[in-house]
Amino acid sequence: MRPQPAISNQYRDGARLIVKPMTTARKLFYYNGGFLHQKQLRRIMSLAGYKLTLGLPNPGDLVAVWGQSPNQYRGQWMAKKRQVGLLRVEDAFLRSVQPGRAGDPPLGLILDRSGCHFDASHPCDLENMLRYDPLDDADLLRRAEQAIVRIRHNHISKYNAFDLTQSPPATRYVLVIDQTFGDAAIRASGVGKTEFQDMLASARREHPGANILIKSHAETIMGLRRGYFSAADETDTIRLLTTPISPWKLFEGAIAVYTMSSQMGFEAILAGHKPHVFGQPFYAGWGLSKDRRPLTGRTRCLSRAQLFAAAMILYPIWYDPYRDQLCALEDVLDTLEAQSRAWRDDHRGWVACGMRLWKRPHLQSIFGRSKRLIFQNDLAKARRASMRKQRNLMVWASADKDLASPAVRVEDGFLRSRGLGATLIPPLSLVTDRLGIYYDPRKPSQLEQMVANAVTLRPDQITRAERLHQQITTTGLTKYNTGKTAPNITGTRRILVPGQVEDDASILTATGQIKTNLALLTAVRRANPDAILLYKPHPDVEAGLRRGVVSDRQSAVLADRVLTNINPGTLLTQVDEVWTMTSLLGFEALLRNKRVVTYGAPFYAGWGLTHDLGQPPTRRVARPDLLGLLYATLIAYPRYFDPVTRLPCPVEVVIERLQDSEAAGHSPINRVLSKLQGLWASHASLWR
């Protein structure tokens, strides 16, 4: 028989999950304290149409139990006594960065009316789906294939607190996967320590002379629960792996994979292995594994895309913590990629140098979630502190004049805020670069590498870049999102000339002979005597906070119009071309399909998308299209921070927050400081 769906208020629109509001919530009674104190779990259940309730259920109600936890008997007894249905709740197969015992809430749940996915003694909703559902929808299988590639590429797993700089100690080994002692999945399989030892013995016997790596469970590595293997099992050819290494790196070097019932066995299938399975997990019996305890009821042969589609797209319910709504798998991948990247960057801790006082609380919120940042003003002291405390070194890019220090450089991102950094509005995006920094062409940067790699994008990356491109151009978002709507500008060949801050780092490092706003205006007018020149001063210069003023007399001679306090997003729709030194407005103009001419060497020059009168680095030989440049610049390179949830987030969330002036504006303290700084504009180095 087919499983009954756990949720009836959702439907799919392409790759997106649409959830209709429930008219009435179904009462769901519980007798387990976990349902009481886990706020996010309760919220997901509520969005799925269930009202968690204490008391006695009546006909039509349900009783919730957590999988096959030791106290499930309470709910089972009550459901039987009151003759109501039972709903088994479990974490979904992509859960969080850290395990739940370490404090991370789940990003998805499994709600099963029939059984538990890890207990083969009775078919669960997932097994029924794998048995009877055709699983032949072309769009569903396409999504599954794309998600598998994306999960592997970004090293996403159920738990994601592993360091991508760590690699297996050897190649060509047999991978044996440990699990936590007494786990419900182990109890349901009726196995124990003896069977784990038998599995290890089989791996040795079937691969004589091969090295064997025993992969400890994430909770065992963190000291939260013990496993079935220990250091006592190590020999000359057997090694217990207790460092957090990406499963996908482990699969690359493995010649065989042995598991009892770990989810890593499922991931091994996705990685192209046919694992030896000694238990009876949900992924066994479908022709994708070597089963030591075959299941008689599972006779169907499935593709890995079909298995994945059922287990990861159709079976769980997924949660978006930023928008507080149920979502599709693809949205959860967005979330986990952002949150995992933040943990992997930050878990060792940072010593931060060159950070202005007003920036420090915000930087602490972004980079100090694992360990609080240690701030230093002196670069030499910061370097010594990072070595002494075994932390990474972070330097504000403009404070590292020659890019000589072995540090990660930090700078504002390209979708920064609703308001100026010079007025102390904190950024919602920051870039970190271990090679150089994007605005300085004297040295390669990570952004350069990412742009070169974006010549070929995967289908899912193209889809995401296209969606982001449309969002930005439709909403008119730019870096700062300030100013009035541009006036109506008529005429042919309208050229926008954006002014810049003349002591800005990009001017100092990426320009040639033309490095002032006056020189830029003069050169553009000389090259385009009959065009309509529109000069837009930089907002920091307009506010009197930075260098770069062109006098009214000079601008009147060279420009047809000077546009002050104008939102560039509304202005770019009315121009034909942008001529610039290194302004980000050039990149924003490219996104609007405008012709862009550069006199300097900004990060977006030299790739064949701009007309370059400056000298971009000759190493930029790749030829990405616009979507490739956008993907590298706005998705792959920056880190984003959600001011509402205070969590690392995907770029799409920041797009939404930037449209909300309250969510993306000043903090109360910075609002006061920004008013005071106008009195001290001549001492800008104190707060910049």
DSSP 3-state assignment of 18? strand
In a domain, 192, yes or no: yes
Nearest alpha carbon to residue 526 among 594, 597, 585: 597
In a domain, 413, yes or no: no
In a domain, 426, yes or no: no
- Residue 254 · residue 175 · CB < 8 Å: yes
Residues 98 and 183 in one domain: no
DSSP 3-state assignment of 149? helix
Residues 503 and 591 in one domain: yes
pLDDT of residue 22: 52
Residues 277 and 305 in one domain: no
Residues 501 and 619 in one domain: yes
Cα separation, 16 vs 146, whole angstroms = 14
The tokens for 582 are: 């290194």
Residues 204 and 245 in one domain: yes
pLDDT of residue 526: 97
Cα separation, 486 vs 569, whole angstroms = 9
pLDDT of residue 538: 92
- Residue 658 · residue 481 · CB < 8 Å: yes
Cα separation, 410 vs 638, whole angstroms = 10
pLDDT of residue 667: 53
Residues 612 and 488 in one domain: yes
pLDDT of residue 422: 66
pLDDT of residue 112: 96
Residues 248 and 316 in one domain: no
pLDDT of residue 145: 98
| Domain final residue pick, 581, 601, 628 | 628
pLDDT of residue 400: 80
Residue with tokens 């062109």: 550
Residues 222 and 121 in one domain: no
Q: Please give the single-letter amino acid code of residue 286.
A: W
pLDDT of residue 23: 52
- Which residue range forms the structural domain that includes residue 58? 1-154+296-334
Residues 457 and 606 in one domain: yes
Residues 277 and 301 in one domain: no
> In this structure, what CATH number is given to the domain that contains residue 569?
3.40.50
Reading across the β-sheet that carries 317-320, which strands appear in turn?
Answer: 50-53, 26-30, 62-66, 85-91, 108-112, 317-320, 325-327
| Domain final residue pick, 577, 604, 628 | 628
Residues 229 and 201 in one domain: yes
Give, rounded to a whole angstrom, the gap between the first and last alpha carbons of the chain: 66
What stretch of H or E contains 392? strand 392-396
Nearest alpha carbon to residue 585 among 486, 437, 688, 445: 486
In a domain, 548, yes or no: yes
pLDDT of residue 661: 72
**Percent helix, percent strand, percent coil in the chain, to nearest 5:** 35, 15, 45
Residues 49 and 134 in one domain: yes
> What are the per-10-residue average pLDDT scores of the chain (688 residues)?
43 45 77 90 96 95 92 92 95 96 94 95 95 97 98 97 91 95 89 96 96 95 94 96 95 97 97 97 97 93 98 98 98 98 97 95 96 95 95 92 81 91 86 96 97 97 97 94 91 96 94 96 97 94 86 94 94 97 98 98 98 97 98 98 97 95 58 47 48
pLDDT of residue 230: 95
- Residue 285 · residue 116 · CB < 8 Å: no
Global pTM value: 0.92
Query: What total of structural domains would you count in the chain?
Result: 3
